[in-house]
Amino acid sequence: MSKILIADDEPSLRLLVKATLNANKSFELIEASDGNEALSKAQSNLPDLILLDVMMPGLSGFEVCERLKNDQKTKNIVIIMLTAKGQQSDRDWAISVGTDYFLTKPFSPIELFNLIEKILTKDNKETKK
């Protein structure tokens, strides 16, 4: 069972993501409502994938991503950065700190689910080689 950390300060978005993922497949879901909690839960739970909001209290998603990607223990966790801002500068910054994927809000639940399935299926195939 794949572990996914949902890090967003909006409870409604966390609820939508949980409902989407639980309706389609069985994942172990972990929640965080701010950057510090996201960093702590990522380090202690070592999820397969993190859905990480850019704008959160405490540490921003950019800061969390950079710290995780610079840590030997967490550097291979796949990170999908979620943002309400779709500017190229945000995408560039996200890429510079190690984000693997970038998704602009609002997004369709199906789009998110398909991306997660693609990522986790790809990772499982590469692991089994």
Q: Fill in the amino acid letter for 60.
A: S
56, 38 in Cβ contact below 8 A?
yes
Q: Which domain holds residue 110?
A: 3-128
50, 77 in Cβ contact below 8 A?
yes
Q: Print pLDDT tens along the chain (129 aa).
A: 899 999 999 999 999 999 988 876 779 999 999 999 999 999 999 999 999 999 999 999 999 999 999 999 999 999 999 988 767 777 777 888 889 998 988 888 889 999 999 999 875 545 433
What CATH number has the domain bearing residue 60? 3.40.50.2300
Alpha-carbon gap, residue 129 to 127, rounded angstroms: 6
Alpha-carbon gap, residue 71 to 23, rounded angstroms: 33
Find, among 36, 20, 24, the residue nearest to 106 by Cα: 20
Any idea how long the chain is?
A: 129
pTM given for the model? 0.89
**What total number of domains does the chain contain?**
1
